[in-house]
Amino acid sequence: MKLAVVGATGLVGTEMLNVLAQRDFPFDELLPVASARSVGKTIEFKGKAYPIISMEDAIAAQPDVAIFSAGGSTSLEYAPKFAEVGTFVVDNSSAWRMNPANKLVVPEINARVLTEEDKIIANPNCSTIQMVVALAPLHQKYQVKRVVVSTYQSVTGSGKAAVDQLMNERSEQEGDKVYPHPIDMNVLPHIDVFFDNGYTKEEMKMVNETKKIFGDDSIQVTATAVRVPAVGGHSEAVNVEFAQDFDLDEVRELLANTPGVVVQDDVKNNVYPMPIWAHQKDEVFVGRLRRDETQPNTLNMWVVSDNLRKGAATNAVQIAEYLVENNLIKSAVMG
């Protein structure tokens, strides 16, 4: 079992390596890949140094799995080249997500759609993943009709340079800017590019990816995606209207019994999900559960998760684990 981590020096890539180590993902050979700038340097994994190699050398090594987090254009160019040599690519960028030929997978919800033909598998957008993980058990029971979501997204979603911008501004240092405005002491209602309909690409990802993951085009989603000066994870205020009525205690119980979901909902003691608690955890945290009193069958909830973990690295590694556990990778031997 040869495993390539493409973008191994980036924020998500680094988290991929942490998650692989923590979950003891079974492999014989690790191939960390980054840009030409980093080739020849080393990264550490479980106390051992590994040389960073180029994309070309990684393709020549014909890995069984390549987990990609190196941006959309890199992925568009190189994922097919890995697929051609038989590698399963799990891609964290948006490049393949809405392509009808590529599966978009949150393992808890729809991993069963995967077959050995699926050589380029898309990891959904971070904001979408945490929302659908919280919605899934409720959708099964009450049928989601419409979702109104506002996000409060961590700067880690824009990569290392964005964290640097926040920290530079905080310490009044000069430095490169990733955002068109200051992010410290500010809030930007602008994530990714604007479309002609006035929405951003991030907002439309939440709309379209939710339908694809649930395999249900009738689910209506409208989103406002906002960048905030936080680092531990993304937060979301989710208003969801169901086809059927619900009981709030049952909602709480359904969520509490869902693997990968943690209910933090004890407002008397000021307990609710927050990025500082979600940071470096794999779960999706849900709280502030309450009825929307203005409309029947409608729930309000607050959903927080570390966007680099379940929103990216953890979900990608779980997809790779599914491939191994279900014998979709022929050469892999599960420990």
Measure the N-to-C terminal CA separation of the chain; round to a whole number of Å.
Answer: 11
Q: Which of 209, 219, 81 is nearest to 148 (CA)?
A: 219
CB of 10 to ligand A2P, least distance (A): 2
70 makes contact with ligand A2P (CB under 6 A): yes
Taking the least distance from each CB to ligand A2P, the nearer of 62 and 220 is 62
72 makes contact with ligand A2P (CB under 6 A): no
CB of 15 to ligand A2P, least distance (A): 10
CB 127 within 8 A of CB 147: no
Specify the stretch interacting with ligand A2P by CB under 6 A; choose among 7-15, 84-92, 184-192, 226-234.
Answer: 7-15
Of the candidate residues 55, 104, 122, 304, the single one contacting ligand A2P (CB under 6 A): 55
Residue 190 annotated to the active site: no
Sign of the Cα pseudo-torsion (17, 21, 22, 26, in order): positive
Tokens found for residue 34: 């980054």
Specify the stretch interacting with ligand A2P by CB under 6 A; choose among 69-77, 82-90, 101-109, 324-332.
Answer: 69-77
Helices (H) and strands (E) in the chain, counts: 10, 13
311 makes contact with ligand A2P (CB under 6 A): no
Cα separation, 110 vs 85, in Å, equals: 26
Say how many C-beta atoms besides its own lie within 10 A of residue 216's C-beta. 12
Show contacts with ligand A2P in window 120-179 (CB under 6 A). 159-160
CB of 11 to ligand A2P, least distance (A): 4
Residue 234 annotated to the active site: yes
Q: Mask: binding to ligand A2P, 242-281, rule CB under 6 A, as x and -?
A: ----------------------------------------
The DSSP secondary structure of 278-296, one letter per residue, reads HTT--SEEEEEEEE-TTST
332 makes contact with ligand A2P (CB under 6 A): no
Sign of the Cα pseudo-torsion (191, 197, 203, 205, in order): negative
Q: Mask: binding to ligand A2P, 29-48, rule CB under 6 A, as x and -?
A: ----xxx-xx----------
Tokens found for residue 110: 């729809």
Q: Which of 48, 80, 84, 60 is nearest to 4 (CA)?
A: 60
* Strand bridging mode 88-91 / 120-122: parallel
Cα separation, 250 vs 244, in Å, equals: 13
Taking the least distance from each CB to ligand A2P, the nearer of 11 and 332 is 11
CB of 76 to ligand A2P, least distance (A): 11
Where does this chain bind ligand A2P (CB under 6 A)? 7-11, 13, 33-35, 37-38, 55, 70-71, 74, 159-160
Task: Name the residues annotated as catalytic.
Answer: 126, 234
